[in-house]
Structure 1
Amino acid sequence: MKGLYCRAGLSDAEPKFVIQEASLPDVIGTHQVRIQVKACGLSPLDLKVLESSQNVYVHDSAVYMTKQYDVMSYPRLPFPGILPLDSPFSGLCDVIDVDEHYLVQKPEKLSSVCAVGALRDGLCAYTALHTHARMAAGHTLLVMDGASPFGLMCIQLACYHGVKVLTTSHSPQKHTFLQQLRPNVQDPLVARVIPVDNGSSDLLPVVMEETGGLGVDIVIDSGVRLQEEEESEEAKLLPHKHDIISVLGVGGHWVTSHQDLQLDPPDCRLLFLKSASVSFLNPEVWTASSAQQGRYLRILPNQIQSVCLAPICPSRPEPEEAVPRYEATVAMETVQLHQKKKAVVQL
Structure 2
Amino acid sequence: MKAIEMRETGGPAVLQWVERPRPELSGPDDILVRLHAAGVNPVDTKIRRNGPLIPDGLPAILGCDGAGVVEAVGESVIRFKPGDEVWFCWGGLGGPAGNYAEYRVIDQHLAQAKPRALSMIEAAAAPLVLLTAWEALHDRARLTEGQRVLIHGGAGGVGHVAIQLARAAGARVCTTVSSPEKAEFAHALGAEYCINYREEDLVESVMDWSEGQGVDIALETVGPEVFRQTIPAMAHYGDLVTILDPGPELDLKEARVRNLRLSLELMLAPMLRNLPRARIHQGEILRRCGDLIDHGALRIHVSQTFPLEQAPEAHKLIEQGHVTGKLALTMT
* TM bucket normalised to smaller: 0.7 to 0.9
Q: Deviations over 1:175-227 (max 9, x none)?
A: 23334x16xxxxxx2221122222x42x222322322322111111221353x
Paired position in structure 1 for 2:221: 222
Paired position in structure 2 for 1:67: 63
- Judged with a 3 Å threshold, the aligned counterparts in structure 2 of structure 1 residues 170 and 111 are, in CA distance, closer, same or farther, namely same
Q: How many residues align?
A: 313
> Greater shift after overlay, 154-163 or 86-95?
86-95
- Judged with a 3 Å threshold, the aligned counterparts in structure 2 of structure 1 residues 175 and 335 are, in CA distance, closer, same or farther, namely closer
1:299 correspondence with 2:285: yes
Conserved? CA contact 2:86–2:112, under 8 Å: yes
Give distance in 2, aligned partners of 1:208 and 1:176.
Answer: 21
Give distance in 1, aligned partners of 2:234 and 2:146.
Answer: 15
- Judged with a 3 Å threshold, the aligned counterparts in structure 2 of structure 1 residues 172 and 26 are, in CA distance, closer, same or farther, namely closer
> Which of 76, 79, 82 is matched with 2:86 structurally?
79
Give distance in 2, aligned partners of 1:7 and 1:148.
Answer: 29
Matches within 5 A, 1:95-174: 95-174=103-182
Give distance in 1, aligned partners of 2:172 and 2:233.
Answer: 15
Give distance in 2, aligned partners of 1:222 and 1:205.
Answer: 20
Give distance in 1, aligned partners of 2:329 and 2:104.
Answer: 16
* Distance apart, 1:257 and its partner CA: 2.5
Matches within 5 A, 1:15-94: 16-24=14-22, 28-44=26-42, 45=44, 46-47=46-47, 53=53, 55-56=54-55, 58=57, 62-74=58-70, 75-84=82-91, 85=93, 88-94=96-102
* SS class of match (2:113): coil
* Distance apart, 1:313 and its partner CA: 3.2
Give distance in 2, aligned partners of 1:339 and 1:190.
Answer: 18
1:258 correspondence with 2:257: no
Structure 1, unpaired ranges of 5+: 183-188, 227-238
1:14 correspondence with 2:11: yes
* Distance apart, 1:248 and its partner CA: 0.8
Q: Deviations over 1:269-323 (max 9, x none)?
A: 21112111222222211322222323223223223333444545321xx533x33
Conserved? CA contact 1:19–1:329, under 8 Å: no
- AA aligned to 1:18 is Q
Conserved? CA contact 1:166–1:191, under 8 Å: yes
- Judged with a 3 Å threshold, the aligned counterparts in structure 2 of structure 1 residues 220 and 36 are, in CA distance, closer, same or farther, namely same
- AA aligned to 1:273 is V
Give distance in 2, aligned partners of 1:263 and 1:164.
Answer: 31
> Greater shift after overlay, 212-221 or 297-306?
297-306
* SS class of match (1:89): coil
TM-score (norm 1): 0.81
Q: Percent identity?
A: 21
Conserved? CA contact 1:57–1:88, under 8 Å: no
Give distance in 1, aligned partners of 2:178 and 2:139.
Answer: 27
- Judged with a 3 Å threshold, the aligned counterparts in structure 2 of structure 1 residues 313 and 25 are, in CA distance, closer, same or farther, namely closer
Q: Deviations over 1:128-174 (max 9, x none)?
A: 11111111111110011212222110111110110010112211221
Give distance in 2, aligned partners of 1:333 and 1:128.
Answer: 27
* Distance apart, 1:337 and its partner CA: 5.6
- Judged with a 3 Å threshold, the aligned counterparts in structure 2 of structure 1 residues 56 and 43 are, in CA distance, closer, same or farther, namely farther
* SS class of match (2:217): strand
- Judged with a 3 Å threshold, the aligned counterparts in structure 2 of structure 1 residues 57 and 67 are, in CA distance, closer, same or farther, namely farther
Conserved? CA contact 1:8–1:14, under 8 Å: no
- AA aligned to 1:204 is V
> Greater shift after overlay, 129-138 or 78-87?
78-87
- AA aligned to 1:328 is A
- AA aligned to 1:302 is R
- Judged with a 3 Å threshold, the aligned counterparts in structure 2 of structure 1 residues 76 and 23 are, in CA distance, closer, same or farther, namely same
Structure 2, unpaired ranges of 5+: 71-81
